[in-house]
Amino acid sequence: MPKKLQNITLPLLAVVSGLLLGAIIMLVFGYDPLWGYEELFYSAFGSVKSIGEIFRAMAPLIFTALGFAVASRAGFFNVGLSGQALVGWVFAGWFALENPDLSRPILILATIAIAMIAGGIAGAIPGVLRAYLGTSEVIVTIMMNYILLYSSNYIIRNVFASDLMKNKDSSINISANASYQTEWLRSLTDNSRMNIGIFFAIIAVLLIWFLLTKTTLGFEIRSVGLNPTASDYAGMSAKRTIILSMIISGALAGLGGAVQGLGTFQNVYTQGGNLDIGFNGMSVALLASNSPLGIPLAAFLFGLLSIGAPGMVKAQIPPELINVVTASIIFFVGVKFVFEQLLKRNKKAKGAN
Tell me: the pLDDT tens digits for 1-57? 566 666 677 778 888 888 898 889 889 988 888 988 899 899 999 999 999 999 999
- pLDDT tens for each residue of 119-165: 999 999 999 999 999 898 899 999 999 999 999 999 999 999 999 99
Q: 255 versus 331: which is more confidently predicted?
A: 255
Band of residue 218 on the pLDDT scale cut at 50, 70, 90: very high
Query: What does each C-alpha distance from 170 to 173, 274, 277 come to in angstroms?
Result: 9, 17, 20
- Helices 197-214, 295-308: crossing angle, 10 deg rounding: 150
Nearest to 283 by CA among 8, 16, 81: 81
Q: SS3 for 153-194, per residue?
A: HHHHHHCCCHHHEEECCEECCCCCCCCCCCHHHHHHCCCCCC
Q: What is the pLDDT of residue 149?
A: 97
CA atoms within 13 A on the CB side of 59: 27
The pLDDT > 90 percentage for the chain reads: 67
- Answer whether residue 349 shows pLDDT above 60: yes
- pLDDT tens for each residue of 83-92: 999 999 999 9
Q: For residue 184, what are the contacts with CB-CB under 8 A and spacing of at least 6?
A: none
What is the widest separation between alpha-carbon atoms in the chain? 77
H or E segment and range at residue 24 = helix 3-28
Q: What is the mean pLDDT of residues 322-338?
A: 72
Rounded Cα gap, residues 313 and 12, in angstroms:
26
CA atoms within 13 A on the CB side of 265: 17
- Within its chain, how far is the Cα of 203 from the centroid? 15
Rounded Cα gap, residues 161 and 158, in angstroms:
8
- Answer whether residue 351 shows pLDDT above 70: no
Here the contacts of 223-231 (C-beta below 8 Å, separation 24 or greater) are 224/74, 224/75, 225/72, 225/73, 225/74, 225/75, 225/76, 226/75, 228/75
CA atoms within 13 A on the CB side of 6: 13
Q: Please name each of the domains of the chain with its CATH number.
A: 31-314 (1.10.3470)
- pLDDT tens for each residue of 191-208: 999 999 999 999 999 999
Going along the chain, which residue ranges are E strands? 165-167, 170-171
Rounded Cα gap, residues 68 and 256, in angstroms:
12
CA torsion sign for 229, 231, 236, 240 is: negative
Query: What does each C-alpha distance from 319 to 303, 322, 328 come to in angstroms?
Result: 14, 6, 15
CA torsion sign for 290, 257, 198, 252 is: negative
- pLDDT tens for each residue of 238-262: 899 999 999 999 999 999 999 999 9
> pTM of this prediction?
0.91
Question: Averaging pLDDT over each range in 39-48, 170-179, 220-229, which range is the top one?
Answer: 170-179
Question: Averaging pLDDT over each range in 62-66, 274-278, 297-301, which range is the top one?
Answer: 62-66
Rounded Cα gap, residues 324 and 334, in angstroms:
15
Q: What is the pLDDT of residue 230?
A: 82
Q: What is the pLDDT of residue 186?
A: 95
Rounded Cα gap, residues 98 and 110, in angstroms:
12
Q: What is the pLDDT of residue 59?
A: 97
Rounded Cα gap, residues 243 and 245, in angstroms:
5
Q: What is the mean pLDDT of residues 281-285?
A: 92
